[in-house]
Amino acid sequence: MVNQRADVGWQSSKSDSSGVSNSGESSKESSRCSTPVLDADRTDRLRDKMKRRIESGDRWFSLEFFPPRTASGAVNLISR
């Protein structure tokens, strides 16, 4: 049994031994990844936090980095 996300909630579909889904969707559509949705509440909270820090006059900075691709890259990042 496979759970699939629908607009109104979770629905499940069963596949028979041939791998054909009976959920009414084509296999091409059901195998696609869903598009991530921006969480407006989370964005607003971050925006509010940044605004408060700026208005307070505190010094602050934002640090961004790309995660290491290999285990040795992770060791190198942590060891610095």
What does the pLDDT look like over 33-70, one tens digit per residue?
A: 777 676 665 667 888 888 888 899 988 887 877 888 99
- 12 φ/ψ sector (left φ>0, alpha ψ -120 to 50, else beta): beta
Instruction: Tell me which range, 3-12, 27-36, 68-77, is most confidently predicted by mean pLDDT.
Output: 68-77
What's the rounded Cα separation, in Å, for the pair 65 and 78?
Answer: 13
> β-strand 2-6 against 9-13: which pairing, if any?
antiparallel
Percent of the chain with pLDDT over 90: 11
Per-residue model confidence (pLDDT) at position 28:
57
The whole-number pLDDT of residue 62 equals 79
C-alpha–C-alpha distance, residues 57 and 53, integer Å: 7
Known catalytic membership, residue 64: yes
Q: Is 54 helix (H, G, I), strand (E, B) or coil?
A: helix
DSSP structural state of residue 69:
S
